[in-house]
Structure 1
Amino acid sequence: MTRSGTLDAAEPADLDTARRRLATPERLREFFRPRSVALVGASDSSGWGRFIVDSLRTAGFTGALRMVHPSRPTAFDLPTVPNLRALDEPVDLAYVLAPTRAVEGVLEDAAAAGIRNAIVLASGYGDGGGEAGRALERRLVERAVELDITLLGPNCLGFVNAAGSVAPFGLGIVPPLRRGPVGIVLQSGALTSNVLAFARAHQVGISLLTSMGNEAVITTADVVEHLVADDDCRVIGLFLESVRDAPRFTALAAAALEAGKPIVALKVGRTEAGQRTALAHTGAVAGDDAVVDAAFRQYGVIRVGSLEELLVTAGLLGSGQVPRGRRMGVVTASGGACDIIADRSTDEGVAIPGFAEATTERLRAVLPPFAAAQNPLDVTGVILADRGSAQAGLGDVALDAVVDDPGIDFVFNMVALPAVEPPDPSLIERRVAAIAASRDRSPVPVVNFTATCTDLSPYAQSLLDRHGLHALGGIEFGLKAVGHALRWQETRREPPAVRAAGPAPTPPGLPAGSWSEARGRDLLAGSGVPLVPAELVGDADAAVAAAERFGGAVALKICSAAITHKSDIGGVALGVSGADDVRAAFARVLAAGRAATADVDGVLVSPMRPPATELFVGVTVDPSFGPVLAVGLGGVFIEVLHDVALRLLPVDAAQVHRMLGELRGAAVLGGARGTRPADLDRVAEVVTRVAGAAAGLGTALQTLEINPLRVDGSCVEALDVLVVTS
C-alpha cells in the first residue's frame, strides 16, 4: 500500500482548518490509546481481520474487542452485532474493513453510536490518482468533519502502540513486540512489517508505529506534532514520500529540536531540479531534493539513506549513550576493525586522538607485548580466550582505562555476542556485566557496536537487556549513527532563526518580471549591501566623464530590464580605458542593446577590479519551502561545479558562516592563487543583508541573484545584480 495520491494544496482552507481540529495532539492521544476496538466487516474468511486480531493479542491488548458483521453470527470466536448502532456501548475505535462503497454509511453508524475514531482500510480514493477518487476522498473528509470523527486512512493498515499495548494493525507482528522510545511514522503500508522486524532484531524499542495511508484527515505532520508532545517518545523516525506542508513541517522540526527529540527521516523520491529558469542560475542549483536536504539539515532533521540507517540511528539516539563531542576512543578486538573505523570516522568528522600518557601506561601494563597501546585500540583476540586465561579480563580493564582518558568525549566499544546461548554462559555473562559496570562508572558515553549488521539472537538481546545495554548494528551503520547524533546536537546548540508565519507584505509599485540592473542595485543598496560603484549614462560624453571620475580601466554594461544575459548579446565591454576607447565601447554596447530591445535605460559604467575570490549569492522561491538562499563559488564556477550550500530564509550570520564552510571549495576562501583570505565575518554580514533584501520583496520575489560577489579580504562588493519579481 502506498499513498501515491493525496489531497493537495488546492484543498479549501476552511476544510483543512476543520480537518486539523480532528487531529490535534489531544484528539490523537485518545485515538492512539483505545481501550475498546470494533472490527467492522469482520469475518473468519478475512485475512485482514485475522491479522488485526493477532496483532492486538501480540501487543497485549486487554480491552474489549467487538465484532461487527451484517449477516454472520460470529467472527473469530466472538459474537457479532449487525452494525455499530447495535453496540450496547460505544467503543473507542472502529477499524473499518468494509468496501469503499460502504465506508460512508459505517461512519454515519459510528457517529450515531458515539464513536469518535476510525481506521479505514479501503482503497480507491486519492490513491488511484484519478479525479473521481480524489473527489471521493474529499467527500470522505467532509463527512468526517461533519460527523466529528478522527480518521486514519483511507488505504491504511493501522498502527502499533507498543507503549499502550494496543495494535489495531492489518499485518502480522512477530512476537515479542519490543517497547521503547522510538515513534515511527511511515507514508507506506507494507514497509511497517519490515521496520518492526528490523527493530526487533536490533534492540530498537518502539513507542508508536503508524502507517498513514492517504492522510485524508490525520496527516504525517499531525502525528509528528503528537509525538513531540508524547512522553513515551524520545526519538521520531519518518519514512516520507513527500513533505506535504513544508512550512508546518519545519515549524514542527524546530519544536522537536527545542524539545530535545531528534527526528530521523528517510525521504525518498529524489528528482531533477524542479525550478529551472532561463533567467537565473539559482533555480537550477536549488533543485527539489537539494532544498529538502538543506531544510532538513537547517532544522535538525537527520536525513538517512536506508531503513537500516534510520533504525540504527534512532536506536542510538534513544539509548541514553549519545556522544556529546567529536573525540572518540575506540576499543576493539580486531586490527581490521580499527582500520575500518579509522577510515570511516574521518568521513563522519569524528577525531581519534592519541591517548594521554597515563592511559597508555595503564594499557601497557595489561596488554600482551605484541599489542599497541594506541587509539584506536586493538586489545587482540586473546580476550576471546577461555575463562582460565590470564587475559580473560583484558577487555574490561582496557575499557576502564579508555573511559577515564581526559581527551576522550565518548568510547566506541565493540562487543562480540553469541548467536545462541553457549554451553557455559558464565564467560560472556561476566564480560557483558563488566561492560555495564564500565558504562555505569564512565564519565563519558559508551557506545557499543557489533562488527556487522547481523540480527541479534534472542539470547544476545536478553543478555544485553538484563544489563541495560544497547549495541549498534555494525561498524558502518554505527559510525553513521554517531555522525548523525553529533551533527544533531551541534544544530541544537545553534538553533535556526525562527521563520515568520508567512511572507512579508509585498511593497507597492514593484515591476513584474526582470528588473533593470540599476533598479536592482538600488534595492540592494537600500538594504546596506555594498556594490561596486556605477553610473548610469545615456551618451558617450557622459560615459567618458564617468570613466574619468573612476580613474583607470572601466566596464560598460547595457542596462535594460529586458536583457538578463548581457554578455550573450555583446552588451558588455571590460577593461576599457582612454576617452576614445570608452566612446567606441559605449557605442558598441548601446547598439547591441537596442538591437535586442527598445527598452534600454542606458549604459552602466563601473571601475574594473583586480582579480579576487568570486562568490555566487542567490535567492529563489521553492514551491514548497518558500525562499531559499544559495551561496557558492561564483563566476563560471557556478555553472560548472554547482558547489553551493542552501538554507531556507531567514538566515543569520552564523548560519551563513556554516554555509561557507560546507562548500567543497571552501579552501578558496582562505586565499588561493594570490588572492587575500576572505574576511568571513564580513562575507556573512553581506550575504545576510542580501537575504534580507530578497525577503523584503514578499510574495513578489522570484529571484534575486549576485554573480559575482567579489571578496578581497574585508572588501566585499556586488558586481552584477539580477532581480526578477512576479
Structure 2
Amino acid sequence: MSRLAAFLEPKSIAIVGCPSDLGRPGARPLVHLLKHGYAGRIYPVNARHAEIGGLRAYPALSALPEPPDMAWVGVPGPDVEPVLEECARLGIRNAVILTAGFGETDAAGKARQQRLRRIADEAGITVLGPNMLGFINCWTRVPLTFSPAGGIDRLIPGALGIASQSGALGGIVVNRAMDRSIGVSAMVSTGNELGITVSECLEHFADDPRTGAVALVAEGIRDGARFRAAAARLLEAGKPLVALKVGRSRAGSRNALTHTGALAGSHEAWRAVARQLGIVEVDTLEDLVEVAGFLSRERRPPRRGVAVLTTSGGASIMMADHLEARGLALPRLASSTVEAIGKLLPEYAVTRDNPVDVTAGLSEELFEQVLATLARDPEVDGVVTTVTGARGVERARNIARVAREADRPVVVCWLSGSLTDAGVPILDAEGVACFRSPRTTSAALAAARSFAAARAAWLRRPGRAGRPAPAVIVPDLEGALPHAVAAGLARRAGLAMAPGALVAGPAGAARAARRLGFPVALKVVARDLAHKTEAGALALDLGSAAEVRRAGARLLAATRGHRIDGLLVQRMVRGIEVLAGVTRDPTFGPLLVLGAGGVTAEALGDTSVRPLPVTRGEIREMLTEIRSLGVLGGWRGAPPADVPALVAAVEAVARLAAALGDRLEAIDVNPIVVGPRGRGARAVDLLVQVRRGGGRAGQ
C-alpha cells in the first residue's frame, strides 16, 4: 500500500482545535465524520471541554488513549508548530493542517512553513497542507474536510479521483459530481503541498483499482519531473487525466535573449506536457466535472464517428456543427440501417441519414426503436441523441433501456429546460451520459477519442529517439557561448551547418567568400546580439568580394558597442526557414520549440512545443501543428521539402540539449533552411546559452 493510500484510510483520527459548538465552521470535520458513519475512532482535542458532539474530548494529544493514525490540525497559526512537534514526540505519523498563513503569504510565512517541514521530515510525518481543506474518501466514508462538500447528503463511491490544489474548488467538483450521480473514489486538496503534492495524488490514483479517471485542479506544479512521470503512469494505466489549469500568465521574459524563450512561457510549457501525455485540458468547472465524470464511466472511444438522432432539424444541425468542430465525424449510415429506419418513420420525416431527424411527432415507442437501430449500425462507434421537448421521464427511460443493451456509448444532449428536466435524474441514476449543451457533449466525446489515441501513441513510443547524446566539454562560462564553441558542439550532436568561416574583418570576409563561392551571407557574430536582422548585423546575397568588403564595414559600424567575435561568412542556402530551439522551463525542464523561421514564429505565435525527450514521430507531429509550415509538403508548384532531413536536424538539436544536461539554459537555431526533397537541411544561425558549471556536461 502506498503512503497516500494508507493516509486516506485512517483507523483513528484526533481533531485538534475542534470547537464544542458543532455549528461553528471549525467543527465541520467532526460533523462530517459523524454524519457519514466513519467507522474508526474519533478523538476531539480541546482543553476547555470534556465532551464534544457526544464524544469524550481530551485536553491534549498526549492525553489520548492511543497515538491516532491521523491528526487534524485546525488551530491558530502560532499553535500549529507546537501541535506538530507533539505529533512527532508521540509517534503520530499523519497530519492534515487546515491553518493558512504559511508559505502562501510572505517571507515570515515561508520561514514558518520551513520549520514545519523540518519537524515533519525529521519525525517521518506525512503532511497534507497547510492551507487546504482536507480530503474525502468516499469508499471508506472518511470525509475529513473543512469543505461544505463533506456534508453532502450521500457520499457516492465511484471511479472519479479528484486532486485539487484549491480546497474550495475541489469541494465544488465533489458537490457537482454527486449532483449528477457521478461516483468519486477520493478528493484530496493539497494546498501549500508541504508534504503531499498533486503529483503524489496522481501516483495514488494510477495505482488505485477503484479509480478510473482523474479530475485535476492545478494552480502551479511544484515538482515537474514527478508530475510528468505520474501523468505517464495514468496514461499507461488507461486512466484519463482531465485538468483545469488556472493561472495562465505568460512568463517568457526570463529568456529574452532568444526567440525560443519568448515563445515558450509557463502556460505553453504546461500545454506541451499536456499534449505529450494525453492530458485532457478544460476551461471551466462544468467541463471538468462533465468530461471527467464521463471518462470515469465510459471506456469506449468513438474512433470512427457517431450517429446523431434528434426530433428537431435545428438541434441536429447545431449538434453536427459542434461534433465536426471537434473532429468527430458523422459517417454515412449503412444501407441496412437507412432501410430499417425508413420502415419506422412517417413519410414526412425525410432526413434518414446521419444526422437523423425523426421530427417531433414520432411516438416514444418508435423513437426508442429508431435509437436502438442506430446503436447497431456498423459504421459508427456511438450515438448522440438530443432532447428538445419530449416527455422527459418517458424519453429518459426509453434511452436508458437502449443504452443498457448497446455495445457502444449512447450519449444524451438534454437541451430542454424545466418542462422536461425530471428525466435527467433518471439518466444520471442509470449511468447514461447526459450533457446540457452540444459544446460539452462534443468535448466529452472528443476527449475519449483523443485520450485513446494518445495512449496508443505513448505505448508505441520507443525508449529513446535516435542515437544517444555525445559527451561534450563545455567551458566554465555563463550566458551565450562563443560561436566557434557552439558550432563545434552542434556538429558533434549531428547538426548540419551551412558552409562558412568566421573571420576578423572585411578583408578576411572577402577572401573567405571567394573560397566558399558566391553568393554569400555575411553576419556579425556577438554573444550579446541574438537578433541580427533588427540590429542591422546581417547582409544577404552578396555576389562579389567588393560587396562583401563594403557590407562587412557597414555591419561592424552598425554593431559598434557589442562584444563582437568576428564576421561569419556563409554560402547562401535557400529553402523553407524553420526555427528549432530548446528552452529550460523552471518546472518541466527542457522544452523543444518549433516554428516558422525568422521573426514569423514570434510575430504569429505559430509554434509547437514538447518537453524533451521526443521521438521522431513527435517531431513530425509537431511540424504538422504549425500552420505556416504547411508549405513543407509543397505549395503552388514548389516541390516538397526535405522533411526527413529537417526531422534529423531537430533530433540533433534535441541531442545537443541532452549533451549539455544541467548546463543548458537555451538553444536557438533560427533558421534551419530546408531544401527540396533530397537536398538536406542546414542550420544558418545558432545561439547556445549555458549556466555556470564546468567540465563534462550530459545527463
- TM-based fold match above 0.5: yes
User: Does residue 1:512 correspond to 2:484, yes or no?
Assistant: no
Deviations 1:276-308 (A, max 9, x none): 444211111111111111112112222211111
The answer to which of 549-558 and 306-315 deviates more is 549-558
User: Does residue 1:702 correspond to 2:669, yes or no?
Assistant: no
- Does the C-alpha gap of structure 1 residues 96 and 527 become closer, same or farther in structure 2, counting only changes over 3 Å? closer
Question: Is contact 1:273–1:285 with CA below 8 Å preserved after alignment?
Answer: no
Distance 1:330 1:519 in 2: 61
Please point out which of 400, 404, 419 is paired with 2:376: 404
Distance 1:282 1:463 in 2: 49
2:697 alignment partner in structure 1: none
1:163 alignment partner in structure 2: 139
The answer to which of 229-238 and 584-593 deviates more is 584-593
Shift of 1:598: 6.7
Please point out which of 68, 72, 76 is paired with 1:99: 76
User: Does residue 1:119 correspond to 2:96, yes or no?
Assistant: yes
1:44 alignment partner in structure 2: 20
Question: Is contact 1:709–1:719 with CA below 8 Å preserved after alignment?
Answer: yes
1:717 alignment partner in structure 2: 682
Distance 1:210 1:553 in 2: 65
Q: AA paired with 1:662?
A: E
Question: Is contact 2:522–2:569 with CA below 8 Å preserved after alignment?
Answer: yes
Q: AA paired with 1:317?
A: L
Distance 2:336 2:142 in 1: 53
1:15 alignment partner in structure 2: none
Please point out which of 352, 356, 373 is paired with 2:352: 373
Question: Is contact 1:201–1:455 with CA below 8 Å preserved after alignment?
Answer: no
Question: Is contact 2:424–2:434 with CA below 8 Å preserved after alignment?
Answer: no
- Does the C-alpha gap of structure 1 residues 416 and 235 become closer, same or farther in structure 2, counting only changes over 3 Å? farther
Q: AA paired with 1:208?
A: A
TM-score normalised per structure 2: 0.89
User: Does residue 1:605 correspond to 2:569, yes or no?
Assistant: yes
Distance 1:276 1:598 in 2: 21
Distance 1:226 1:647 in 2: 26
Question: Is contact 2:212–2:297 with CA below 8 Å preserved after alignment?
Answer: no
Q: AA paired with 2:309?
A: V
Shift of 1:641: 0.8
Question: Is contact 2:395–2:423 with CA below 8 Å preserved after alignment?
Answer: no
Please point out which of 388, 391, 403 is paired with 1:436: 403
- Does the C-alpha gap of structure 1 residues 100 and 497 become closer, same or farther in structure 2, counting only changes over 3 Å? farther
Q: AA paired with 2:128?
A: L
TM-score normalised per structure 1: 0.86
2:9 alignment partner in structure 1: 33
Q: AA paired with 1:524?
A: A
Identity level (%): 36
- Does the C-alpha gap of structure 1 residues 192 and 504 become closer, same or farther in structure 2, counting only changes over 3 Å? farther
Residues 560-709 of structure 1: pairs in structure 2 closer than 5 A: 560-589=526-555, 592=558, 595-597=560-562, 599-601=564-566, 603-610=567-574, 612-709=575-672
User: Does residue 1:197 correspond to 2:169, yes or no?
Assistant: no
2:164 alignment partner in structure 1: 186
Deviations 1:36-58 (A, max 9, x none): 32322333325134422332244
User: Does residue 1:470 correspond to 2:422, yes or no?
Assistant: no
Distance 1:558 1:101 in 2: 61
Cα RMSD after superposing both structures: 3.0
The answer to which of 664-673 and 156-165 deviates more is 664-673
Please point out which of 382, 390, 407 is paired with 2:361: 382
Deviations 1:407-443 (A, max 9, x none): 2232223357999xx8xx6x4475144323442xx3x
- The count of corresponding residues between Structure 1 and Structure 2 is 680
Question: Is contact 2:396–2:423 with CA below 8 Å preserved after alignment?
Answer: no
Distance 2:549 2:125 in 1: 77
Shift of 1:406: 2.6
1:214 alignment partner in structure 2: 192
SS in 2 for 1:185: strand
- Does the C-alpha gap of structure 1 residues 96 and 520 become closer, same or farther in structure 2, counting only changes over 3 Å? closer
1:235 alignment partner in structure 2: 213
Question: Is contact 2:131–2:192 with CA below 8 Å preserved after alignment?
Answer: yes
Question: Is contact 1:332–1:377 with CA below 8 Å preserved after alignment?
Answer: yes
User: Does residue 1:413 correspond to 2:385, yes or no?
Assistant: yes
SS in 1 for 2:309: strand
Distance 2:500 2:619 in 1: 27
1:151 alignment partner in structure 2: 127
Q: AA paired with 2:233?
A: A
SS in 1 for 2:593: strand
Shift of 1:160: 0.9
- Does the C-alpha gap of structure 1 residues 150 and 564 become closer, same or farther in structure 2, counting only changes over 3 Å? closer
Q: AA paired with 1:241?
A: E
- Does the C-alpha gap of structure 1 residues 598 and 508 become closer, same or farther in structure 2, counting only changes over 3 Å? closer
1:18 alignment partner in structure 2: none
1:488 alignment partner in structure 2: 451
The answer to which of 299-308 and 548-557 deviates more is 548-557
- Does the C-alpha gap of structure 1 residues 540 and 210 become closer, same or farther in structure 2, counting only changes over 3 Å? closer
- Does the C-alpha gap of structure 1 residues 506 and 232 become closer, same or farther in structure 2, counting only changes over 3 Å? farther
SS in 2 for 1:143: helix
The answer to which of 71-80 and 144-153 deviates more is 144-153
- Does the C-alpha gap of structure 1 residues 144 and 411 become closer, same or farther in structure 2, counting only changes over 3 Å? same
Shift of 1:454: 9.2
Deviations 1:456-499 (A, max 9, x none): 9787435543x443323432112112222222221111126769
Shift of 1:401: 2.4
Please point out which of 523, 532, 542 is paired with 2:489: 523
Structure 1 gap ranges (5+): 1-24, 384-390
Shift of 1:123: 2.3
- Does the C-alpha gap of structure 1 residues 507 and 255 become closer, same or farther in structure 2, counting only changes over 3 Å? farther
Question: Is contact 1:40–1:96 with CA below 8 Å preserved after alignment?
Answer: yes
SS in 2 for 1:696: helix
- Does the C-alpha gap of structure 1 residues 478 and 428 become closer, same or farther in structure 2, counting only changes over 3 Å? closer
Shift of 1:548: 4.1
Question: Is contact 1:224–1:252 with CA below 8 Å preserved after alignment?
Answer: yes
Distance 2:128 2:254 in 1: 37
